[in-house]
Amino acid sequence: MLSLSTKIESLNKVGPAYLKKLHKLNIKTIQDLFFHFPHRYEDFSKRTSISELKEGEKATIQAEIVEIKNTRLFHRKMSLTEALVKDNTGMIKVTWFNQPYLIETLKKGKIANFSGKLSFYKKTLCLSNPVYELAKKETTHTGRLVPIYPETEGISSRYLRFLIKPLLYLTEQLDDFLPTQVKNKFNLMDLAQAIEQIHFPKNFLLEKKARKRLAFNELFLIQLASLQQKQKIFKEKAIKLLFDKKLIKPFVDNLPFKLTDDQKIAAWEIFQDIVKNKPMNRLLNGDVGSGKTIVAIMVALAVAKQKYQVAIMTPTEILAKQHFQTFKDMLKNQKIKIALLTSSSVKKAELKKEITQGKIDIIIGTHAIIQKDVSFKNLAMAIVDEQHRFGVAQRAALQKKICQIDDGLKTIPHLLSMTATPIPRTLALTIYGDLDISLIKELPKGRQKIITKIVSPKNRDKTYNFIKEQIKEKRQVFVICPLIEESNKLTEIKSVTQEYEKLSKNVFPEFKLAMLHGKLKPKEKEKIMDEFKKAKTDILISTSVVEVGVDIPNATVMIIEGADRFGLAQLHQFRGRIGREKVQSHCFLFTDSNAQKTNMRLKAILTAKDGFELAEKDLKIRGAGDFIGTRQWGLPDLVMASLNDLELIKKSREVAEMILKNNLINQTMKLKLKDLNKDIHLE
């Protein structure tokens, strides 16, 4: 007897070859098959007669096969199957390429459904390559909304429909873990009905309701997991620190710039958190150049002056070194011991010993800080910068390790995460549901708006001439190259190398150029960045390694090659590397694409007031999967598609809070949460 847990190989339509391919799609049981959702539908629901067919319109006809034959097209090395079909209004030709086996099914005299578009073949109107099935009361592939699934080589949507449809009676076995009152209150479908309607919807309204229910499931579980995490952290104890106004006020008054209101509010929110004996778990989300670092310095100063240690972690050595320099400059009069710990640090053993003995107050470094052989004397605060740049697994390990750090205390450190990727509220609520959030939207006064232009191929030379003038005025230039394939570092190097060759030989032979990419050793990267910082290099050609934290005040021009290949948030990050001084800066977005959607996206970067508005636009245009990178987060596609729906997120949060408060977590929820933490890394 079949059940949801029945292995897929038990089905008689699944042989060894298909099994291997289904496993590739992560389908191992009947339940997995049900949760492999269509990503779109072909609307073949419009049934029409042959005489009413219109060119270019999708439709379904039901017709009798008058004749059918195969022909070999030797000049094109393919076969052509041609059929003549009729209904009581007329006759039409139907053609398929390379499907000679069809004559075994579509025999003369049979009545069948054909769904597709009417188009010309050799000056004759015909149904070209339509979907077909023999006429029956309940259709699967024609005459309805037909599901199209994520596929893999050798597994077609037709085959998946063929497998799923006869098994849908088993949806009654699904454990619908949402309480009835929740479903009634929020008008949510039963789970069994939602699964049926997402695979074979009667209409688009029911498909939408099914998708809403299934997205709600996932959002609810994510919210429940993050609330549990919050609850778990809240039970822990942290060091109760003091807010010393006599220390902080003079420090702020002596800064060479005035803090923005947003910076003051963010700092105050953090100080309010750390005076409690509950661990702070806060995200400081601020646009590029909004001044998050100075807020972190103020907090680190307050902690260090109370004789506790602070650890500051960054994803790259370049950023760690830059922070080290900034902290040293800003705190030079404070009698605080600051050290840099990275994998390439000299006298590492000695440094680790001093950290253990409590001789270092502020430790700045990469994830070398949380290695097993690093222990602290009394760590009260951990600050993680650009935390979205730590991969999922690293992020999970990071929070775990920070809580378990050997620090000589029975408490866990307060945690401040910082990110310069402006995150729309909906995303923040979902992804960082376990964190309190402080936003810095305001940029420091006196910053000039960066002039940003989209440059087509015909205007490149004009832009290059403008750049030559800028370099003659002692300005420096960034050139950013796209990563052609996300996983392939070699193509990354190739794109940088080719650009370097072209620019150094043909465009800017009179200037000093350098290149930077992910395959270089840390010391090489450091040397290149150092020379650029000291203005020994005019133009730096780089991949996205400059996205995070690189601060070169004299660089006032940026070219972004293949700008259409980057997300808006990323383009905004790149652009934030320039415009740090009072001199006017320019950013040129080079693109060869004429696509309307590309232009709409790139124009958004010209008009958005700040990174937050831009992130909202990016989310609307590209969808959440592209905005935050599905691969990085592991969030299901359904959730990705629902992240624009603030109402649904709020409802799922409300239900998660109610379930947790009233202790209504059932066994199915527990199992789902276990799977979720494994896949999505919310710990």
**Which has more confidence, 469 or 543?**
469
**Of 378-387, 557-566, 602-611, 642-651, which range is least confident?**
642-651
Inter-residue contact 669 to 220 (CB < 8 Å)? no
The per-residue pLDDT for 489 is 47
The per-residue pLDDT for 635 is 58
Inter-residue contact 94 to 83 (CB < 8 Å)? yes
| pTM reported for the whole predicted model | 0.71
Q: Put residue 593 in one of left, alpha, beta given phi > 0 → left and psi -120 to 50 → alpha.
A: beta
pLDDT in tens, 359-379: 999 999 988 887 778 888 899
The per-residue pLDDT for 622 is 63
The span from the CA of 473 to the CA of 54, in Å, is 64
The per-residue pLDDT for 74 is 78
The per-residue pLDDT for 436 is 85
pLDDT in tens, 399-433: 566 767 766 677 888 989 898 777 776 677 776 77
The span from the CA of 343 to the CA of 338, in Å, is 17
Using 50, 70 and 90 to split pLDDT, how confident is the model at 643?
low
The per-residue pLDDT for 493 is 58
The per-residue pLDDT for 636 is 61
Measured in degrees and rounded to the nearest 5, phi and psi for residue 37 equal: -85, 150
Q: Give 357's Cβ-side CA count (13 Å radius).
A: 8
The per-residue pLDDT for 682 is 39
pLDDT in tens, 1-28: 899 999 999 998 899 999 999 998 889 9
Q: Is the pLDDT of residue 507 over 80?
A: yes
Q: Is the pLDDT of residue 65 over 70?
A: yes
User: What is the overall mean pLDDT for the chain?
Assistant: 86
Give how far Cα 264 sits from Cα of 209, 260, 269, 298, 301, Å.
44, 6, 9, 10, 15
The span from the CA of 565 to the CA of 584, in Å, is 26
The per-residue pLDDT for 512 is 95
The span from the CA of 108 to the CA of 134, in Å, is 12
The full set of domain ranges for the chain reads 46-143, 241-275+291-419, 451-609
Using 50, 70 and 90 to split pLDDT, how confident is the model at 633?
very low
CATH superfamily membership of 451-609: P-loop containing nucleotide triphosphate hydrolases (3.40.50.300)
The per-residue pLDDT for 388 is 55
CB within 8 Å of 608: residues ≥ 6 apart? 568, 614, 617
The pLDDT > 90 percentage for the chain reads 51
Please name the fold of domain 46-143: OB fold (Dihydrolipoamide Acetyltransferase, E2P) (2.40.50)
Query: In this structure, what DSSP letter does residue 74 have?
Result: G
How much is the average pLDDT of 592-600?
A: 78
How much is the average pLDDT of 221-232?
A: 85
Dig out the tokens for 318 from the structure.
């370049």
Using 50, 70 and 90 to split pLDDT, how confident is the model at 550?
low
CB within 8 Å of 383: residues ≥ 6 apart? 296, 299, 300, 310, 311, 312, 313, 415, 416, 417, 418
How much is the average pLDDT of 611-616?
A: 78
Helix boundaries (H) for 331-391? 348-356
Q: Same fold for the domain at 241-275+291-419 and the one at 451-609?
A: yes
How much is the average pLDDT of 167-181?
A: 94
Inter-residue contact 149 to 160 (CB < 8 Å)? yes
**Of 115-124, 137-146, 380-389, which range is least confident?**
380-389
Task: Identify residue 63 by its one-letter amino acid code.
Answer: A
Q: Is the pLDDT of residue 194 over 70?
A: yes
pLDDT in tens, 34-48: 999 998 999 998 889
> Among 534, 530, 577, 483, which Cα is nearest to 318's?
530
Inter-residue contact 56 to 119 (CB < 8 Å)? yes
Write down the residue that tokens 């009072």 correspond to.
582
Dig out the tokens for 260 from the structure.
């923005």
Helix boundaries (H) for 623-666? 624, 630-633, 637-642, 646-661
Class of domain 241-275+291-419: alpha beta
